[in-house]
């Protein structure tokens, strides 16, 4: 290896490195050719005139022939000049083509090939340059983050070529409204960033520009005989000149803040602009801490089941409980599922969270009177798991809990995500003896044919209809219709949201329901439920141990 390096270094010293790239070798040969051309011209100028005169006199006046060697040298001299000139012309053309190729490569490296805007790679430098120039002129920089609303849905509907046409036209419209010396970049997908300098205090001009951008983006786009309508959500952030903050830091801060404002505009209904507010960063930080708390809480067992009573309205007897999740957070206290369930679904921990709650609930309910059922809500995300039924049956075996006492509640909206998977899951669970309820009935879009073909055992009326009974005529009509439907299809009904005696009495008019709500007590912890059941002699004695070999072992009952 040492000898090889020495050999290469010797070649380098004399300018003949065999590893040099081809363009470098060509450049060396071009220099040689140019040197030959110059030498040939000098030789022709120095000797060509005298030799040429002898040759001319020889042919014209018949004088003695000139020296043949000098004539041949002249011809060679002329040939060298022609060769050198041609090579020099080729060199000039190659250099021009190479420079053009380099400019094209630079352009492609720093711009988006579809829209002609700057790309993500060149955006930071462009914004930093704008910040420096604006600081020198005493101006403020305003950065806007623009995201097209429901662009993916448009792509799915019309195809990616139509999506490209939308992006090109959107970029053209934005570019046409921006002031001079502005920055416009496409970050990828359907997201654009633009920045411009404004005199301090000209917020009205900035907001006017943002409103015009919203209007321009929302104008219909005609393409191949179809009309595409797209809107945009815009987040705005303003950066003031600060001597202690570098242009790079200010650029990153502006982009971050405008991004937060853009998402706030989307949350506010889309097709609008929104200024950055410091509270957005605080909200983001809180959300991040909340997500971390949920992840850690699942591992630490901070999520516990609470239980809401289910009552037979005709007899007033307790028939079972619905399991409701609660989070006993060391920082936030007792948190309701309306707060943490959507976040747990977004961050992908809902399956583990739900499985741990069901495992606890089965152990708790194993001590109840065998006549009491346990209802459990299932997340739509869990229904996408092809192994969910097997996981649930495994939990039943581990807890030695009879499948016939378990009721799985599936929301109506789940039926539209993957009807075939839901049908397979329902059939599998019912074959094991588990009952299936259609939850929140009336709020979704399920058809009567789906209700007829899917083997549900019970339907639950959404609390939004029940809680307004006696006050809203439409709610009474809907409850009456669902009651008639249940009777016709031989499906028992559970009503949620029975908050007072008036609602209870109204429900009794429409049939014999099971009901649940605050009229019968608020959801309670496992300890409180066990204590109450013990007072009513509704506990088994003693609590049965888990016995996987005997999942349907009968329970002994007090009294």
Distance CA 122, CA 109 (A): 8
Q: Rounded to whole angstroms, how far apart are CA atoms 422 and 409? A: 12
- Under a CB-based contact definition with an 8 Å cutoff, are residues 456 and 491 in contact? yes
Q: Which residues contact 360 (CB under 8 A, 6 or more apart)?
A: 304, 305, 526
Residue 243: is its pLDDT beyond 70? Answer: no
175 pLDDT above the threshold of 80: yes
The tokens describing 301, both together, are 């067992």
- Does residue 77 register a pLDDT over 80? no
> Which helix (DSSP H) or strand (DSSP E) does residue 186 occupy?
strand 183-188
pLDDT at 163 over 60: yes
Q: Give the pLDDT score at 22.
A: 47
Query: What pLDDT was estimated at residue 37?
Result: 63
The answer, yes or no, to whether residue 413 has pLDDT greater than 80, is no
pLDDT tens figures, 367-402: 999 999 999 999 888 888 888 999 999 999 999 999
Superfamily holding 302-535: EAL domain (3.20.20.450)
State yes or no: pLDDT of 233 exceeds 60.
yes
Task: Take residue 84 and report the two structure tokens written for it.
Answer: 């050198």
Do 493 and 458 touch, CB atoms closer than 8 A?
Answer: yes
Q: Given the structure tokens 């028939």, which residue do they identify?
A: 319
Calculate mean pLDDT across residues 3-21: 39
- What whole-number distance in Å separates Cα of residue 210 and Cα of residue 50? 80
CA distance 166 to 222: 9
Q: Do domains 120-276 and 302-535 have the same CATH topology?
A: no
Task: Give the model's confidence band at 30: pLDDT under 50 very low, under 70 low, under 90 confident, else very high.
Answer: low
Range picked from 49-63, 72-86, 147-161, 299-313 for highest mean pLDDT: 299-313
Q: Is the pLDDT of residue 1 over 50?
A: no
Highest mean pLDDT among 58-67, 83-92, 161-170: 161-170
Per-residue pLDDT, 515: 93
pTM of the model: 0.66
- Average pLDDT of the segment spanning 401-429: 85
pLDDT at 451 over 90: no
Long-range contacts: 344-353, Cβ < 8 Å, 24+?
Answer: 344/294, 345/379, 345/381, 347/291, 347/294, 347/295, 349/294, 349/295, 349/298, 350/379, 350/381, 350/382, 351/379, 351/381, 351/382, 351/385, 352/298, 353/294, 353/298, 353/303, 353/325
pLDDT-derived band at 540, boundaries 50, 70, 90:
confident
Predicted confidence at residue 9, as pLDDT, reads: 38
**Would you place residue 17 in the very low, low, confident or very high pLDDT band (cuts 50, 70, 90)?**
very low
pLDDT digits (tens, 9 = 90+) for 187-198: 888 999 999 998
Q: What is the pLDDT at residue 453?
A: 73
Q: Which of 394, 452, 409, 407 is nearest to 433 (CA)?
A: 407
**Alpha-carbon span 66 to 484, nearest angstrom:** 127
Average pLDDT, the chain: 82
Among the ranges given (59-73, 297-311, 347-361), the one the predictor scored with the smallest mean pLDDT: 59-73
Q: What is the mean pLDDT of residues 407-413?
A: 86
Q: Select the more confidently predicted residue: 67 or 320.
A: 320
Contact 478, 441 (CB under 8 A): no
> pLDDT at residue 24 above 50?
no
Whether 44 has a pLDDT exceeding 70, the answer reads: no
Q: Where are the domains of the chain?
A: 2-110, 120-276, 302-535
- Name the nearest CA neighbour of 123 among 183, 74, 80, 66: 183
Long-range pairs, 274-280, Cβ under 8 A, ≥24:
274/233, 274/234, 274/235, 274/236, 275/236, 275/237, 275/238, 276/235, 276/236, 276/237, 276/238
Whether 211 contacts 177, CB under 8 Å: no
pLDDT at position 415, please? 73
| Residues facing 514 on adjacent strands | 312, 494
- What's the count of helices (H) and strands (E) in the chain, helices before strands? 20, 17
Query: How would residue 49 be classed by pLDDT, with cut points 50, 70 and 90?
Result: low
Q: What integer is the mean pLDDT of 14-19?
A: 39
Alpha helices, H only, 386-467: 388-399, 419-431, 448-453, 463-466
Is the pLDDT assigned to residue 45 strictly greater than 80?
Answer: no
Q: Is the pLDDT of residue 452 over 80?
A: no
Does pLDDT of 14 surpass 50? no
Q: Phi first, then psi: give them for residue 404, nearest 5 degrees.
A: -65, -15
The Cα–Cα gap between 213 and 175 comes to: 10
**CA pair distance 48, 67, nearest whole angstrom:** 13
Task: From 218, 164, 202, select the one nearest 186 (Cα to Cα).
Answer: 164
Give the residue-averaged pLDDT of 514-519: 93
Measured distance CA(507)–CA(141) in Å, rounded? 62
pLDDT at 542: 57
Q: What is the pLDDT of residue 239?
A: 84
pLDDT of residue 421: 80
Distances (CA, A) of 275 to 127, 206, 328: 19, 11, 36
Confidence of residue 351 (pLDDT cuts 50, 70, 90): very high
Q: Which of 18-22, 63-67, 423-427, 468-472 has the lowest mean pLDDT?
A: 18-22
Determine which helix (DSSP H) or strand (DSSP E) holds 78, and give its type and residue range: helix 68-110
- Reading the block at residue 376, the tokens are 């459990």
CA distance 323 to 523: 9
Among 73, 83, 12, which Cα is nearest to 46's? 73
Per-residue pLDDT, 469: 84
Query: Rounded to an integer, what distance in angstroms lies between the CA atom of residue 201 and that of residue 204?
Result: 8
Question: Which residue in the block uniquely carries the two structure tokens 């583990």?
Answer: 352
Residue-level pLDDT at 100: 77
Cα–Cα distance measured from residue 253 to residue 143, given in angstroms and rounded to the nearest whole number: 10
Q: Is 510 helix (H, G, I), strand (E, B) or coil?
A: coil
In degrees and rounded to multiples of 5, residue 485 shows phi and psi of -65, -45
pLDDT band at 90 (very low <50, low <70, confident <90, very high): confident
CATH of 120-276, one of 3.40.190.10, 3.90.180.10, 3.40.50.300, 3.30.70.270: 3.30.70.270
């Amino acid at each position: 290896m040492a000898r090889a390096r020495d050999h290469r270094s010797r070649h380098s010293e004399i300018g003949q490195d065999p590893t040099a790239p081809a363009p470098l070798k060509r450049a060396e040969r071009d220099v040689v050719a140019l040197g030959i051309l110059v030498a040939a011209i000098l030789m022709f100028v120095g000797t060509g005139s005298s030799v040429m005169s002898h040759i001319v006199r020889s042919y014209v006046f018949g004088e003695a022939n000139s020296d043949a060697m000098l004539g041949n040298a002249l011809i060679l001299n002329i040939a060298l000049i022609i060769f050198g000139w041609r090579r020099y012309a080729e060199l000039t053309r190659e250099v021009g083509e190479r420079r053009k190729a380099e400019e094209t490569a630079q352009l492609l490296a720093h711009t988006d090939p579809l829209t002609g805007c700057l790309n993500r790679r060149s955006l930071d430098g462009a914004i930093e340059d704008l910040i420096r120039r604006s600081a020198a002129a005493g101006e403020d920089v305003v950065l806007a983050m623009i995201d097209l609303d429901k662009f993916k849905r448009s792509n799915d509907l019309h195809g990616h070529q139509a999506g490209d046409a939308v992006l090109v036209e959107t970029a053209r419209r934005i570019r046409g409204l921006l002031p001079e010396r502005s920055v416009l970049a496409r970050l990828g997908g359907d997201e654009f960033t633009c920045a411009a300098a404004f005199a301090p205090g000209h917020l009205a001009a900035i907001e006017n520009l943002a409103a015009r951008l919203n209007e321009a983006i929302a104008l219909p786009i005609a393409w191949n005989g179809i009309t595409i309508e797209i809107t945009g959500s815009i987040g705005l952030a303003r950066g003031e000149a600060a001597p202690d903050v570098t242009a790079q830091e200010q650029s990153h801060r502006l982009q971050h803040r405008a991004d937060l404002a853009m998402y706030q505009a989307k949350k506010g209904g889309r097709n609008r602009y929104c200024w950055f507010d410091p509270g957005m960063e605080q909200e983001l930080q809180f959300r991040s801490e909340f997500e971390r708390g949920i992840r850690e809480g699942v591992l630490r067992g901070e999520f516990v089941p609470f239980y809401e009573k289910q009552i037979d309205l005709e007899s007033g007897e307790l028939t079972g409980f619905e399991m409701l999740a609660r989070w006993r957070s060391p920082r936030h206290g007792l948190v309701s599922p309306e707060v943490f369930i959507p976040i747990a679904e977004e961050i992908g921990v809902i399956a583990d969270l739900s499985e741990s709650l069901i495992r606890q609930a089965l152990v708790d309910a194993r001590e109840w009177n065998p006549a009491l059922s346990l209802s459990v809500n299932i997340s739509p995300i869990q229904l996408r798991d092809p192994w969910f039924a097997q996981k649930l049956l495994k939990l039943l075996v581990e807890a030695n809990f009879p499948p016939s006492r378990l009721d799985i509640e599936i929301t109506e909206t789940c039926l539209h995500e993957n009807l075939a998977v839901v049908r397979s899951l329902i059939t599998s669970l019912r074959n094991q003896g588990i009952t299936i309820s259609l939850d929140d009935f009336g709020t979704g879009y399920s058809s009567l044919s789906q209700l007829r073909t899917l083997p549900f055992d019970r339907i639950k009326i959404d609390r939004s209809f029940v809680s307004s009974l006696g006050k809203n005529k439409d709610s009474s009509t809907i409850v009456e219709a669902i009651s008639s439907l249940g009777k016709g299809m031989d499906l028992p009904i559970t009503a949620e949201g029975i908050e007072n005696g008036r609602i209870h009495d109204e429900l009794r008019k429409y049939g014999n329901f099971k009901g649940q709500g605050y009229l019968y007590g608020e959801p309670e912890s496992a300890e409180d439920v066990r204590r109450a059941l013990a007072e009513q002699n509704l506990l088994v004695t003693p609590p049965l141990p888990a016995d996987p070999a005997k999942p349907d072992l009968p329970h002994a009952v007090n009294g």
